Amino acid sequence: MPEVIVEDVGALNLVALITRELINKNLQDPNKSKLIRHLNCTFVLKASRMTMTVIFKDGEVFLKNGAAPKPTVYIEAGLNDFLNIGVGGSYVTALITGRLKIRGIKLWKLLPILKLVRI
């Protein structure tokens, strides 16, 4: 099974650590691990003051602190909203209320990725 590749786990911020664990857990499911086989995109997640980048490239997942210069997707939310979505809360409500902002891609293209960052 694939798992998230991180250069320096000890340097990751809280959001990156949580995201790494959620993705690793979900990649244990063969149906969810199929989602990344041909996925090639970069997304940046900013939760409060913490920023991280997740890169999906040819069946591998890379994670690092900070923002990539030209991400495919840029997602911004407060830490509470990020945690709420991660445990199964509604991202639709967060989008409608403006607490979750997504730029750079249509939401329907992002849905497979969202399955990887939820419990």
* CATH value at residue 85: 3.30.1050.10
71 Cβ contact partners less than 8 Å away, ≥ 6 residues apart: 42, 43, 44, 53, 104
Q: CA dist 96 to 18, 60, 84, 100, 115, Å?
A: 24, 32, 15, 8, 19
What confidence score (pLDDT) does residue 71 get? 92
Kindly report the pTM of this predicted structure: 0.88
Find the domain containing 15 and state its range: 4-117
State the residue for tokens 């890379």. 62
Local mean pLDDT, 10-residue blocks, the chain (119 residues): 89 94 93 88 93 94 95 93 88 90 79 79
Determine contact, residues 12/65, Cβ cutoff 8 Å.
Answer: yes
Q: Count structural domains, the chain.
A: 1
